[in-house]
Homo-oligomer: A and B are copies of this chain.
Amino acid sequence: MAGAEFFRTFYPIQPIERIMTHHSLRRSPLAPAGGATAGLLSRLDSGEPVHLDELPTPSLLLDLDLFEANLDKMSGNAKRHSIGLRPHAKTHKCPEIARRQVEAGALGACTATIHEAEVLAAGGIPGLLITSEMVGRNKMERLVALTRRQPDTMSVVDDIAHARQLNDAAEAGEVRLNVLVDIDPMGRRTGTTAGAAAFALAEGILKLSRLNLRGVHSYSGASSHVVGFAERKAHSEEVMAPPIETYQKMKKAGMPVEILTGCSTGTYNIDPFQDEITEMQVGSYVFMDVDYQIIGGEGGEVYDDFAPALTVLTTVMSKLHRDLATLDAGMKAFATDRESVPEVKGISGTRYQFGGDEHGMLQLPNPSREIKLGDRLEFVVPHCDPTVNLYNYLLLRRGEQVEGYWPVAGRGHS
């Protein structure tokens, strides 16, 4: 048993309603909460005003004023440069945010996983592009089901063997799957080599009756965090030149390609000037984080084009040493994947250090104010994507008031 027959047997087609059953759009079930947290969400649901001081800690806060300014700035940038915007939802995993991005002019949303795509689809988000290869029966079957619901859904391919598997799955599911050729921008993570290999893959895809070739995907994660604007620009231009050239050859050969997607928050003001790139899959700009601040901007040493809208609220749980305050926020409250650490807002002369799963050690070599037991300190997060992934919901603030919450509905499945 192989090919289409295999898929039909292994994955009997289910109505999309059944597949989406657990995607309730009521707010609470997607934000499972316990204890006093449940009471808090109920109060927010009923519109009761809640003050920041009432929140449990650690809590993940989204400053709506800063968030909205970030959305507007990126949308304005895209319009000004006549480049498409399909922001990456891996950053937030949150249908409410994707909806606002689309309202601000985005073409849809990128996702890294099939689960994120399903969650966004259930939230009514159109124009989905899954930027990872959907390999294996489980993912292909889900991609087919999602495409039946939203025929414009796209995913990526870097191997003709995988393209054939997708074609079989599409035939079994009686859909056509939209694909982009994934070209490696010298990162060796995924993607076929630019030039002859990518061109041959595109030719192979065109021979498969159930696949629609839509264009090229080439995302350079390595460019995004190059320190220094000039260095970052040089890096992106170097690694994107071969995919761009390959895309041009595909067009010249008459292939029906119309999308060349890439670009990060780090290169949002670089890649629109590279010929042929048709859309940006920027993600982090909605939240910002320490990792991006330290790469430097076009105009100075700090990248401050977008504002740090995402913070974690913590409590000083122990204060027994002159030079140290222990916080209730550690490796389960902040991402630990890079060198950068959380940065406290409004106090200088301190440095955060991880102190365990649930502890942070705020070193106080020269604090600009006294820090006491019970103080509530707010931190800009080190890396936004995996930090958001640690929380069930974003608490929405304007100033000192909490206005509501958005579930991080796509979390818990990588």
A interface, CB within 8 angstroms of B: 14, 18-23, 28-30, 32-39, 41-42, 53-58, 90, 112-115, 118-119, 122, 132-133, 135-139, 141-142, 145-146, 158-159, 161-162, 165, 184, 188-193, 221, 315-321, 324, 326, 328-333, 335-337, 354-359, 361, 373-374, 376, 385-386, 389-393, 409-414
Contacts and interface: CB of A to CB of B under 8 A. Distances in A.
A354 B335 CA distance: 14
| Chain B CB within 10 Å, residue with most, of A30, A136, A392, A412 | A412
Given A113-B358, A189-B355, A332-B389, A23 B34 contact: yes
B358 A337 contact: no
Contact of A19 (B39, B331, B393): B39
Given A165-B374, A190-B318, A190-B320, 8 more contacts: A21-B38, A22-B28, A23-B35, A32-B32, A35-B142, A136-B315, A158-B318, A331-B337
A326 B132 CA distance: 11
B190 A359 contact: yes
Given A55-B138, A189-B356, A386-B331, A320 B159 contact: yes
B357 A136 contact: no
Nearest to A162: B373
A119 B35 contact: yes
A357 B389 CA distance: 10
Contact of A38 (B19, B55, B137, B141): B19
A331 B251 CA distance: 36
How often does this chain occur in the complex, in copies? 2
A55 B136 CA distance: 10
Contacts of A356: 189, 221
Nearest to A22: B38
Contacts of A190: 317-318, 320, 326, 359
A320 B319 CA distance: 53
B324 A361 contact: no
A382 to B, nearest CB: 11
Contacts of A137: 53-54
9 contacts: A18-B39, A36-B141, A139-B315, A190-B318, A329-B414, A332-B385, A333-B414, A358-B414, A392-B413
Given A21-B38, A34-B115, A331-B335, A135 B54 contact: no
Given A34-B22, A35-B118, A159-B373, A385 B412 contact: no
B320 A34 contact: no
A132 B35 contact: no
Contacts of A115: 34-35, 37, 56
Contacts of A374: 135-136, 165
Nearest to A392: B412
A216 to B, nearest CB: 16
Contact of A57 (B22, B41, B136, B324): B136
A220 to B, nearest CB: 12
A354 B37 CA distance: 34
Contact of A358 (B90, B333, B354): B90
Contacts of A161: 373
Contacts of A221: 356
Q: Which 8 A-B pairs have the closest CB atoms?
A: A35-B118, A22-B38, A392-B412, A190-B318, A336-B337, A112-B358, A333-B414, A135-B317
| Chain B CB within 10 Å, residue with most, of A328, A410, A414 | A414
A222 B123 CA distance: 46
A41 B22 CA distance: 10
A118 B34 contact: yes
A37 B56 contact: no
B354 A132 contact: no
Contacts of A393: 412
Contact of A158 (B19, B38, B189, B320): B320
Contacts of A55: 138
